[in-house]
Amino acid sequence: MPPLAMSLLQRVCQAGLVAWVVGTLTFVLTRTLPGDMAYRIAAGRYGHEQVTAAAAEAVRAELALEGSAVQAYLQWFGDLARGDLGRSLVSGQPVAGELQHLLGHSAQLAGVAIVMALLIGVPFGLASGLSRHRLLDRLGLALAVAMRSLPPFVIGLGLIMLFSITLGWLPAAGSGHLTHLWLPAMALALGLAAVSSRVTHHAMARVAASPFYAFARQKGLSARQALYRHGLRNVSVPVVAYLGVQLIYLMEGVVVIESLFAWPGIGHALVHAVVARDVPMIQGTALVLGLGFVLLNALVDLACRGLDPLRQTS
Partner 1 sequence: MTPLMEVRNLCVETTQPPIHTLLHPVSFTLHAGRPLTLLGETGSGKSLLAQAVMGTLPPGLRARGDVMVEGRNFLALPARARAKWWGRHFALLPQEPWHALDPTMRIGAQIEEGHRLVAGRSRSAAQHATDQSLMRLGLADCRRHLPQALSGGMAQRAAFAAARTTEAPIVIADEPTKGLDSTRRDEVVTLLREALNERSSLLAITHDIDVARQLGGDIMVVRDGICLEQGEARTVLDAPRSEYAKRLIAADPRHWPAPASPAPASAQPVIEGRTLRMKRGNRVLFSNLSLTLSPGEIVGLTGPSGCGKSTLGDILLGIITPDEGHVHRARGHAPLRFQKLYQDPPAAFAPHWTLHTLLEDLCARHRLDRGRIPLLMTRLGLHARLLQRQPGQLSGGELQRFSILRALLLEPVFLFADEPTSRLDPITQQDTLALLTDVAREHDCAVLLVSHDPALITASCDRQVVLSG
Partner 2 sequence: MTTTATHHRIPLLRLRVPLPRARMAGALLLALLIAFGWLVPLWHDVSPHHQDLMHTLTPPGAEHLLGTDPLGRSMLGRLTEAVRLSLGLALLSVASAAVPGVVFGVIAGWRPGLVDRSLGLVADVVLALPGLLLVLLLAAIAPGTFWSLYVGIALVLWVEYFRVVRTATRTLISAPQVQCARMLGFGPGYIFRRHLWPELAPEVTTLAAFGASTAVLAVSSLGFVSIGLRPPTAELGLMMTELFPFYQEAPWLLAQPVIMLFLMVLSFQLLAGREPQ
Q: Which stretch binds partner 2 (CB under 8 A): 81-89, 123-131, 137-145, 211-219?
A: 137-145
Binding mask 141-160 for partner 2 (x = CB under 8 A): x--xxx-xxxx-xx--x---
DSSP state of 49: G
* 161 lies in the binding site for partner 2 (CB under 8 A): yes
Contacts of 197 (CB under 8 A, 6+ apart): 120, 121, 122, 124, 125, 128, 140, 143, 144
Q: Which stretch binds partner 1 (CB under 8 A): 68-76, 109-117, 232-240, 271-279?
A: 232-240
Among residues 205 and 273, whose Cβ is nearest to partner 1?
205
> Counting Cβ atoms within 10 Å, is residue 153 exposed (0-12), middle (13-18) or buried (19+)?
middle
Closest CB 106 distance from partner 1, rounded Å: 34
* 157 lies in the binding site for partner 1 (CB under 8 A): no
Interface with partner 1: number of residues (CB under 8 A): 26
Closest CB 310 distance from partner 1, rounded Å: 6
Do the beta carbons of residue 128 and residue 140 sit within 8 Å?
A: yes
CA 162 to chain centre: 25
Q: Which stretch binds partner 2 (CB under 8 A): 73-81, 206-214, 219-227, 253-261?
A: 253-261
* 234 lies in the binding site for partner 1 (CB under 8 A): yes
| Site residues (CB under 8 A) for partner 1, limited to 197-216 | 210-212, 214-216
> Counting Cβ atoms within 10 Å, is residue 285 exposed (0-12), middle (13-18) or buried (19+)?
buried
Among residues 188 and 216, whose Cβ is nearest to partner 1?
216
Q: What stretches of the chain show up as alpha helix (H) in DSSP?
A: 3-31, 37-46, 53-63, 69-81, 95-130, 134-148, 152-159, 178-208, 211-218, 223-226, 232-261, 266-276, 279-307, 309-313
**Residue 234 binding target from partner 1, partner 2, none, CB below 5 to 8 Å by type:** partner 1
DSSP state of 51: -
Query: How far apart (Å, rounded) are the C-alpha atoms in residues 110 and 175?
Result: 15
Contacts of 265 (CB under 8 A, 6+ apart): 102, 103, 105, 106, 109, 254, 258
* 229 lies in the binding site for partner 1 (CB under 8 A): yes
Which of 281, 259, 253, 293 lies closest to 29, judged by CA? 281
Closest CB 251 distance from partner 2, rounded Å: 4
CA 102 to chain centre: 14
| Site residues (CB under 8 A) for partner 1, limited to 119-148 | 132
Exactly one of 274, 299, 302, 303 binds partner 2 (CB under 8 A); that residue is 274
**Residue 271 binding target from partner 1, partner 2, none, CB below 5 to 8 Å by type:** partner 2
* 167 lies in the binding site for partner 2 (CB under 8 A): no
- Residues lying near partner 2 in the complex (CB under 8 A) are found at 14, 17-18, 20-22, 25-26, 28-29, 32, 141, 144-146, 148-151, 153-154, 157, 161, 165, 198, 202, 247-248, 251-252, 255-256, 259-260, 270-271, 274-275, 277, 282, 286, 289-290, 293-294
